[in-house]
Amino acid sequence: MADASPERETPAKPRLLSDPKFRALVFQIIASITVAAFVFFIVRNTLHNMESRGISTGFGFLDRVSGFGILQSLIEYNETSTYGRTFVVGLLNTILVSVLGVFFATIIGFIMGVLRLSSNWLISKLAAAYIEIFRNIPLLLQIFFWYYAIGFNLPGPRQAMSVGDSLFLSNRGLYLPAPVFESGFMATGLAIVGSIVAVIFLARWARKRFEATGQLFHTVYASLAILIGVPALVYFLSGSPMHLDYPSLQGFNFQGGVVVIPELFALVLALSIYTAAFIAETVRSGIQAVSHGQTEAASALGLRPSWTLRLVVIPQAMRVIIPPLTSQYLNLTKNSSLAAAIGYPDLVAVFAGTTLNQTGQAVEIIAITMSVYLLLSLIISIFMNWYNAKMALRER
Amino acid sequence: MNFKRISVVTAAATAGLMIAGTVQAGATFDAVKKKGYVQCGVSTGLPGFSATDDKGNWKGIDVDACRAVAAAMFGDANKVKYTPLNAKERFTALQSGEIDMLPRNTTWTFTRDTSLGLNFAGVNYYDGQGFMVSKKLGVKSAKELSGASVCIQAGTTTELNLADYFRANKMEYKAITYDSSDETVKAFEAGRCDMLTSDQSQLYALRIKLTDPNSAMVLPEVISKEPLGPVVRQGDDEWFNLVRWSLFAQINAEEAGVTMKNVDEMMKSADPNIRRLLGVEGVKGEFLGVDDKWAYNIVKQVGNYGEMFERNVGQGSALKIARGQNALWNKGGIQYAPPIR
């Protein structure tokens, strides 16, 4: 709200109704009351109508036994679990797809964005072709393509392709050996956590020393040595307390090991390739937004080209890249709800699909599902805003 | 900020108003009469039950359920409009008033009848769940299926029966759920799953959709009771009565031997049963709020239950399903209708 102009000379009898401040206040109050009354009316009307038609309401159904199976579950789940648990299973499956999708989309997107600016004609045109093709085909079609084209053309489990009898690829998915931890594995776990903490401190120390003295330290090699060496040492000293559970063909299918189901594979592939095309454009625009003078200045100072990119261009480009990158992450998370189309058991398929249909409580379930996506998106936004603030230009 | 608030409110408002709108429209019976046609919720394509033929006309016993109601109400079986729905959408569509009746191979269960605000008006097909497997597997019984991957349509009683059956027999399975039955067939054909489970009648229908129907077989086990029938919204008994008695009229017509062909001669019949059925004497259509010739119109335009069955799923169709449980009660089946008197 703009304040009344201070230059006004004589406040000639301020009538309340012509006072802009007061009027604005009145209108805002009226608008708020109208909106609140409207929402109240809608909610009451809906509840009343559902009651008068004998449609059951409330959240009691979350405690009832679901009685159906789910293809993939990250937590213990069976037919005797509750609808509340199906919700958690669906949510975790959605988060799994989103995290994997964001991870791969970021990597592919950054590589493609940089390649797009390559001075090599062929590379830059290939990157451009990739971006234009995948950005302009509807995502749902791409999901179907990867699912039907790849998932359905693999051999059956009895003719599965295998690598050394431990890795099997068939139309039932990719079966990998699963690690089984024994009782003495605790020490190794602690060693892993410890070495991660050590590496963080090392990196900080190296940076401080560099800023103070200008001396470089080989942080990358030292970190790798700590990360691999220490846990490995502890692992063997404690007597290798882990073995692998190999998948094997029994009856119709493989038993044991872990499986990447074709639905998950197709979905992650489609989501990351599609979103990466947008991220690539974001990255390209970010890099191009950094003035060429910066690169020239860096070379004038004698910085190597790789350093120029890492220390001068990327940090400045990130400020342009992060805000649109955030919305790409949000898009990817929301697009993961297309999973239902190929039978991947995500939140929409399991909860807003099967659970809704078995219980018939559409209003509650859709409300819960919408709030979950809202919450997921807000969490991503908060995290990216924090990261953005951290990367922002700071004066030293 | 304002925009966000507005869009949230609009969304909430639309949801609320959709429900409000249907209540204000009054009883379904009057609403249907006024608009002049029955809005009928059917499947997205299940041969024999509800599917479009090569000319784009809806055919099937579920379609005929709506046509019979239209014949009774308007004297014209063609006054029906169809809304194809998948299994997940069907109840919401009926609850929200988007459709007037839902004959969509829907199983009558306790939960659906009591907690969804819906009523089942009768049973037009007694079904049971079965399994279809590829002949290559060499399986002869469902008991040999432990560890199998199963393709299944989401939002059906099938999902629950499958879980029950495998649990009761201490077998393992992996369910891959798709939105439509077409997708389950595609996945089954591509070998994504070892078997496809659904109601037996559907299995026969889906089997014809395979590129090579002879590569698959339906196992003998029937693992559940699936009484399929038309569903209406709770709270309009007039409409419920009309839907229910339209089906009963067809069953009674078969029992009395009244067919599409002989119905005009039967008007002159001396048998009081037939005379009552066809509205010549005794009962009046006004009890249902329709014309006295309501049952005549149903039989004339849609046929009796047996004719409807044979035409859509029986010997007159590609499915060739035997009457079995769906034969009349006096012919070894369980189709039984209360008398019209």
Q: What is the mean pLDDT of each run of 10 residues along chain B (341 residues)?
A: 42 45 60 94 91 92 96 95 90 92 93 91 94 88 87 86 90 88 88 90 85 87 92 92 96 95 92 91 86 94 96 90 92 93 86
Provide the pLDDT for residue B131. 92
Provide the pLDDT for residue B305. 96
| Selected residue with higher pLDDT from A3 and A280 | A280
Query: With an 8 Å Cβ cutoff, are B174 and A67 in contact?
Result: no
Q: Is residue A164 over pLDDT 80?
A: no
The domain made up of B19-126+228-331 is a member of CATH 3.40.190.10: yes
User: Which tens digits make up the pLDDT trace of A89-126?
Assistant: 999 999 999 999 999 999 999 999 989 988 899 999 99
Number of A/B CB contacts below 8 angstroms equals 147
Distance CA A315, CA A326 (A): 17
Between helix B200-209 and helix B181-189 the angle, nearest 10°, is 60
The whole model's pTM is what?
A: 0.80
Percent of chain A whose pLDDT exceeds 70: 96
| Residues A210-244: b if buried by 16+ CB within 10 A, e if exposed | eeeeeeeeebeeebeebeeebbeebbeebeeeeee
Q: Which two tokens stand for residue A110?
A: 């950054």
Provide the pLDDT for residue A395. 63
In CATH, what is the architecture of A83-152+262-391? Answer: Orthogonal Bundle (1.10)
The domain made up of B129-224 is a member of CATH 3.40.190.10: yes
Q: Which of A62-66, A263-267, B245-249 has the lowest mean pLDDT?
A: A62-66
Query: With an 8 Å Cβ cutoff, are B190 and A152 in contact?
Result: yes
Phi-psi region of A215 (alpha: psi -120 to 50; beta: other; left: phi over 0): beta
Which residues are registered as beta bridge partners of A161? A169
Percent of chain A whose pLDDT exceeds 90: 42
Provide the pLDDT for residue A325. 94
Query: With an 8 Å Cβ cutoff, are B159 and A69 in contact?
Result: yes
- Residues of B with Cβ-Cβ distance to A345 under 8 angstroms: 177
Query: With an 8 Å Cβ cutoff, are A45 and B88 in contact?
Result: no
Distance CA A326, CA B44 (A): 39
Among A47-51, A239-243, B34-38, B209-213, name the most confident range: B34-38
Provide the pLDDT for residue B6. 43
Query: With an 8 Å Cβ cutoff, are B162 and A359 in contact?
Result: no
Residue B75 dihedral angles phi and psi, to the nearest 5°: 70, 15
- Residues of A with Cβ-Cβ distance to B183 under 8 angstroms: 343
Q: Is A255 on the interface with B (CB under 8 A)?
A: yes
- CB contact residues (below 8 A), chain A span 168-207, against chain B: 171-172
Q: Is A85 on the interface with B (CB under 8 A)?
A: no
Tell me whether domains B19-126+228-331 and B129-224 share a fold. Answer: yes
Provide the pLDDT for residue B64. 96
Query: With an 8 Å Cβ cutoff, are B155 and A354 in contact?
Result: yes
| Selected residue with higher pLDDT from A267 and A56 | A267
Phi-psi region of A302 (alpha: psi -120 to 50; beta: other; left: phi over 0): left
Rounded to an integer, the average pLDDT of A15-38 is 90
Specify whether the CB–CB gap between B79 and B290 falls below 8 A: no
Provide the pLDDT for residue A36. 96
Query: With an 8 Å Cβ cutoff, are A50 and B19 in contact?
Result: yes
Query: Average model confidence (pLDDT) for chain A?
Result: 87
Q: What is the ipTM of this complex?
A: 0.74
- Residues of B with Cβ-Cβ distance to A263 under 8 angstroms: 176
Rounded to an integer, the average pLDDT of A270-285 is 95
Q: Is A34 on the interface with B (CB under 8 A)?
A: no
User: Which tens digits make up the pLDDT trace of B83-109?
Assistant: 999 888 899 899 889 999 999 999 999
Task: Place A12 in a pLDDT band, splitting at 50, 70 and 90.
Answer: low
Provide the pLDDT for residue B260. 94
Enclosing H/E stretch for A170: strand A167-170
| Residues B214-242: b if buried by 16+ CB within 10 A, e if exposed | eebbbbeebbbebbbbbbbbbbbeebbbb
Distance CA A317, CA A282 (A): 10
Specify whether the CB–CB gap between A326 and A384 falls below 8 A: yes
Query: Any idea where the domains of chain B sit in the sequence?
Result: 19-126+228-331, 129-224
Compute how many other C-beta atoms are within 10 angstroms of the C-beta atom of residue A306: 8
